[in-house]
Amino acid sequence: MSAHLNAALREGDNPELTEERRKATFDTRKLADEFFGSHLARRRREIAKAIDAIPELHDTKPLPFMTREEKVEEAARKVFTLSKHITDIVDLSNNRETQSLNEMVIGIEGMPISLHFAMFIPALQGQADDEQKREWLDRAIRMEIIGTYAQTELGHGTNLRMLETTATYDKQNKEFILNSPTLTSLKWWPGNMGKSCNYAIVVANLIIDDKLLGPHSFMVQLRDENSHETMPNIQIGDIGPKMAYNSSDNGFLKLSNLRIPRRNMLMKHAKVQEDGTYKKPPHEKLAYSAMVHVRSHMITQHAMLLAYALSISTRYSCIRRQGYIDPKKDEVKVIEYQTQQHRLFPHIARAYAFAFAGTESIRKFEIMKRSLEAGNIELIADLHALTSGLKAVVTYLAGQGIEQARQACGGHGYSMASYMGEIYGVGIAGCTYEGENLVMMQQLGRYLIKAVKSVKEGKKPTGYVAYLAHAGQRHSLIDCRPNEGYAEHIRAFEHIARRQTFRAAERLQKYENSGLSTEQAWNNCTVELNRASRLHTRLFIACNFYERVLDVEDMAVREVLEDLLHLHLNYELIDIASYALEAKKIRPNAVSLVDSWEITDREHRSVLGRRDGHVYENLFKWAKSSDLNQNDVLPSHKKHLLPMMLNARKQSKL
């Protein structure tokens, strides 16, 4: 590729990076079009340009130098400033455009309206009836009110059936009475609930005539709309600092005999009539729709976090020179070391694979939503299984990749100047929120076991589990030569996933036959079952990557994606670092592959990952701006350490 086609080349950049960019075999803009989709890629460029022109949307100082209060204030300031410009910059009905704008301006550490858009609005869209939508959804979209999703409690997050918050129907007054009867029933964790929101969708166990009817969603006003003071019968606050996400005020909530009108229960699916008659929803888990929405969107979000970390470490690896390969020559860029390439490149391949899987899970979510609106509940189970698996596998592997990217930056990777600590903290939170990963793997496990049962009954499952009915390869994998082409890789992958799923199913059957209860037998098999779920999901990601690459029209882009696909399939299959062959092929394109993510410096917030590569001078500037450097001698030093040392000196002279 002639260098002028590489959109990332700019005057004045560090020559080390320019040298890398000149080697690109493809046009980074065209690869960006594949990674994001051409519309979003173009819009992201336009959004970045629009932000450049509005100084009040820029960071006032690097986020790691801010206290928690300053971070919370900065996020609030930017949300307010954005509200004046947002409709000029993005199409608000496009979630991914809006999310890109938020990440570029506010960053990944959280903001007062995260949950409002991620869950409050989707819960209203999925669970409120038309009249309720007119009352709350329109106001929420206009941001007249800010809401969150309050489900998890101090004592229970995973096991929703045991939520202790109660909503008891009072027929006389046609009201629900909401209560947090115990310490463990306090709502705990909901994002932005501590200080920012004035409304919440509270998930509580519904009780009518002493009958427990399971978790349902209720609209609760938390704070006065004018004064923002906490409403009566409510106690609310922030849960304190966390590993990351400290711009967000995750909160606690106690409800004490709070009365709300009957119509505050979201009634699109389940309904409670005035006389207390209860109408069941058409599918028991429709009340969980907001969680499925977030799970299906988390995959692209985590692909992006991984991309942030890898573009920082790949660029930095081409700036950093350390040691020799040939002692007679200069010190080499650390990217030249095979170990560095093996550390980074498989994760670059995964970032692309995850982004494509994420686009697919969002597409599947939209299809399910439309089919549900037409009254069809059939796709719910498939989507739940798919998103449970993807959510768990992608958040976990993205976390691993981010940590490898951090280690690849050596000591400077541990400084917050690299921003790796925050990216990691935010990434691994995804392993926990929206369903703890090992628990979500079991949800997919249930689905796989059902598919095995149907295969054993002579039926042919369709869709993502169709491969379970294929005749298994009789020979072992040792006979499987990966160089025979991608179809052979996929067959090998299917073979491993199928074998593990059948092994888990047989083991479960054995325990059940031995007289153990279903639950006990299940618990004895969960390690095997989770392995099957993991393999099934990694197979889905690989197949999706393979099919996606076949669709690419630009030959240069297709070729580099095939290199990544080849690496991905081998790495996933053999589960060891890539072959030297793949590493050699990826090496000349390493920087351009990460440039194709088109992450701006503003979005990165990383000194190490700067697009222009001027790392060292900026590390020095960064250090100088530390609060601790504002005084030559810290007041705390004068107070404690200096007297201690003076005293010690005095003592030794005696």
Ligand X SMILES: CC(C)(COP(=O)(O)OP(=O)(O)OC[C@H]1O[C@@H](n2cnc3c(N)ncnc32)[C@H](O)[C@@H]1OP(=O)(O)O)[C@@H](O)C(=O)NCCC(=O)NCCSC(=O)/C=C/CCCCCCCCCCCCC(=O)O
By the rule CB under 6 A, 424 interacts with ligand FAD: no
Burial of 61 (0-12, 13-18, 19+ CB in 10 A): exposed
Closest CA to 432 of 242, 598, 263, 216: 242
Measured from the CB atom, the residue of 77 and 285 that comes closer to ligand X is 285
Q: Which stretch binds ligand FAD (CB under 6 A): 120-128, 425-433, 546-554, 555-563?
A: 425-433
Shortest gap between Cβ of 499 and ligand FAD (angstroms)? 24
Q: Which stretch binds ligand X (CB under 6 A): 27-35, 432-440, 552-560, 625-633?
A: 432-440
Among candidate residues 472, 426, 424, 412, the one with its CA nearest the CA of residue 619: 412
Q: Under DSSP, is residue 395 helix (H, G, I), strand (E, B) or coil?
A: helix
The span from the CA of 596 to the CA of 552, in Å, is 15
CA distance 132 to 150: 18
292 binds ligand X (CB under 6 A): yes
**Which of 36, 117, 120, 149 is the binder for ligand FAD (CB under 6 A)?**
149
Q: Parallel, antiparallel, or unpaired: how do β-strands 175-179 and 258-261 relate?
A: antiparallel
Q: What single-letter DSSP state applies at residue 469?
A: G
Is 187:196 a contact under the CB 8 Å cutoff?
Answer: no
Exposed/middle/buried for residue 89 (C-beta within 10 Å: 0-12, 13-18, 19+):
buried
Q: Any binding-site annotation on 18?
A: no
Task: State the DSSP H helix or E strand holding residue 177, giving kind and residue range, or none if neither.
Answer: strand 175-179
Q: How far apart are CA 648 and CA 562, in angstroms?
A: 67
Cα-trace Rg, the chain = 27
Q: Which residues contact 200 (CB under 8 A, 6 or more apart)?
A: 120, 147, 148, 149, 150, 187, 190, 193, 219, 220, 222, 253
Task: Decide whether 264 or 443 has the Cβ nearer to ligand X.
Answer: 443
Binding ligand X (rule: CB under 6 A), the pick from 152, 533, 570, 578 is: 152
Q: Which of 297, 347, 534, 604 binds ligand X (CB under 6 A)?
A: 297
Which residue in the set 66, 113, 150, 383 belongs to the binding site for ligand FAD (CB under 6 A)? 150
The entry of ligand FAD, ligand X, none near residue 570 (CB within 5 to 8 angstroms by kind) is: none
Tell me whether residue 52 or residue 284 sits nearer to ligand FAD (CB atom): 284
The Cα 371–Cα 490 span in angstroms is: 30
Query: Under the criterion CB under 6 A, does residue 149 sit at the interface with ligand X?
Result: yes
Instruction: Select from 40-48, 133-141, 431-439, 460-468 the region that touches ligand X (CB under 6 A).
Output: 431-439
The residue (of 283 and 499) whose beta carbon lies closer to ligand X is 283
Q: How far apart are CA 649 and CA 38, in angstroms?
A: 69
Question: Which of 517/626 has CB closer to ligand X?
Answer: 517
What does 95 bind: ligand FAD, ligand X, none (CB cut-off 5 to 8 Å by kind)? ligand X
Tokens 């609060």 correspond to: 627
Distance of alpha carbon 464 from alpha carbon 498, whole angstroms: 12
Phi, psi angle pair for 215, to nearest 5°: -65, 135
Contact 289, 203 (CB under 8 A): no
Quote the CA–CA distance of 441 and 461 in Å, as a whole number: 20
Residue 161 interacts with, from ligand X, ligand FAD, none (CB under 5-8 Å by kind): ligand X
Backbone angles phi, psi at 212, to 5 degrees: -85, 120
Query: Which residue has the CB atom at the shortest distance from ligand FAD?
Result: 157
Does the footprint of ligand X cover residue 384 (CB under 6 A)?
yes
Other CB atoms within a 10 A radius of the CB of residue 189 amount to: 18
Question: Is 609 annotated as belonging to a binding site?
Answer: no
Contact call for residues 128 and 122 (beta carbons, < 8 A): no
Query: 166 forms bridges with which residues in the sheet?
Result: 179, 205
Site membership for ligand X, residue 434 (CB under 6 A): yes
User: Quick one: which of 454, 439, 340 has its CA closest to 395?
Assistant: 439
Q: Is 288 in the site for ligand X (CB under 6 A)?
A: yes
438 binds, among ligand X, ligand FAD, none (CB under 5 to 8 A by kind): ligand FAD
Residue 489 tokens read as 């890789």
Candidate segments 184-192, 221-229, 359-367, 623-631, binder of ligand FAD by CB under 6 A? 184-192
Comparing CB distances to ligand FAD, the nearer of 161 and 474 is: 161
At its nearest, how many Å lie between ligand FAD and the CB of residue 111?
Answer: 13
Contacts of 425 (CB under 8 A, 6+ apart): 242, 243, 244, 245
Interface pick for ligand X out of 418, 443, 530, 570 (rule CB under 6 A): 443
150, interface contact from ligand FAD, ligand X, none, CB < 5-8 Å by kind: ligand FAD
**Subset of residues 94 to 123 that bind ligand X, contact rule: CB under 6 A:** 95, 99, 114, 117-118, 122
CA–CA separation, 20 and 258 (whole Å): 63
* Binding track over 430-449 against ligand FAD, x by CB under 6 A: --xx-xx-xx----------
Q: How far is the CB of 536 from ligand FAD (least distance, A)?
A: 18
- Whole-number minimum distance, CB 64 to ligand FAD, in Å? 18
Q: Does 422 bind ligand X (CB under 6 A)?
A: no
Q: With 0-12 CB in 10 A as exposed, 13-18 as middle and 19+ as buried, what is 221?
A: middle
Q: How many residues bind ligand X (CB under 6 A)?
A: 31
Number of residues that bind ligand FAD (CB under 6 A): 21
SS3 category, 207:
strand
Structure tokens at 430: 């995804």
Binding of ligand FAD by 429 (CB under 6 A)? yes
Segment interacting with ligand FAD, rule: CB under 6 A, options 44-52, 156-164, 305-313, 640-648: 156-164
Contacts of ligand FAD in 311-350 (CB under 6 A): none
The catalytic residues are 434
- Asked if 189 touches ligand FAD (CB under 6 A), the answer is yes
115 in contact with ligand FAD (CB under 6 A): yes
Question: Which 328-367 positions form the footprint of ligand X (CB under 6 A)?
Answer: none
The nearer residue to ligand X, 569 or 599, going by C-beta atoms, is 599
Closest to ligand FAD by CB, 173 vs 235, is 235
* Beta-bridge mates of residue 200: 148, 220
Strand 251-255 and strand 187-188: pairing?
antiparallel
Residues that bind ligand X (CB under 6 A): 95, 99, 114, 117-118, 122, 149, 151-152, 157-158, 160-161, 191, 285, 288, 291-292, 294, 297-298, 301, 380-381, 384, 433-435, 439, 443, 446
Binding annotation for FAD: 152, 191
Residues that bind ligand FAD (CB under 6 A): 115, 148-152, 156-158, 189-191, 245, 250, 429, 432-433, 435-436, 438-439
Binding annotation: 152, 191
